[in-house]
Amino acid sequence: MFGFGKCKINKDNILVKFECWNKDNIQEVRIPDGVIAIADSVFKDFQNLRSVKIPNSVKVIGSNAFSGCVNLHSAPLPDSITSIGIGAFVACHKLEEVNIPKSLNTLGAYAFADCYNIKAVEIPKHVYVIGDHAFKGCMSLETAKLPKNITTIGEEAFAFCYKLRNFEMPEDVKTIGARAFESCRCISSVTIPERIEVIEDSAFSSCVSLRNIDFIGDGNGKGITVKDSAFSGCNRLEDVFFER
């Protein structure tokens, strides 16, 4: 059954609320042209929402805007979007495809965490930080393409992405956060780039297929800090190579 609702838009063209009798009846939403932002939590826990159409006028998706939309299958993101807020799509379990727009420059913490069916993501070049827990628990994620200019991979950014295997560490990364790749069971090799400065606690813990680690730099002459248990539980690790 399809329900009906109305987008409440303020004078600044921000969608601040979706008014309806029963959000459990809402399966499709079309956001009107001219809206420039979707405010925090507007569609939070709309558990039967299946698709949403976002116009090219939208630049910002607020924190938790679609969090808990467990049946959301389709949410194409237009090239106008510059910011995806904290937890914007967290726990959208049925979401399979994510086209992260080239215009994006801010990817918030938990942005796509626990999206169990996403298989691939490509981060655009204007993003420099992968937020904490951004893709944590994306259990079907196999491919993550990151631009070379990423400087920080946040805490648990890709933790428990059990199928992640197609991945290259960005050239400019300086910090790999705590448990950033914990339990990424399919990663078999890692190249630590020249500019790396810190690998935080348990960054690669329980990467049970990891066999080879290649350090190709020394933190721009500052040395590399490898925190406690950074590679704990990597029981198949065979080779660690340091280039000089």
CATH numbers and ranges of domains, the chain? 1-118 (3.80.10.10), 127-244 (3.80.10.10)
Give tens-digit pLDDT for 110-128: 999 999 999 999 999 999 9
Report residue 30 as tokens. Answer: 């079309």
**End-to-end distance of the chain based on CA atoms, in angstroms?**
65
Is 63 a residue whose pLDDT tops 70? yes
pLDDT at 5: 86
Q: What is the mean pLDDT of residues 149-168?
A: 96
Give tens-digit pLDDT for 1-59: 345 789 999 999 999 999 998 999 999 999 999 999 999 999 999 999 999 999 999 99
Contact 1, 22 (CB under 8 A): no
pLDDT at 1: 38
Place of tokens 């808990």: 68
pLDDT at 38: 98
Is 243 a residue whose pLDDT tops 80? no
Average pLDDT over the chain, rounded to an integer: 94
pLDDT at 228: 86
Q: What is the mean pLDDT of residues 98-108?
A: 95
pLDDT at 221: 58
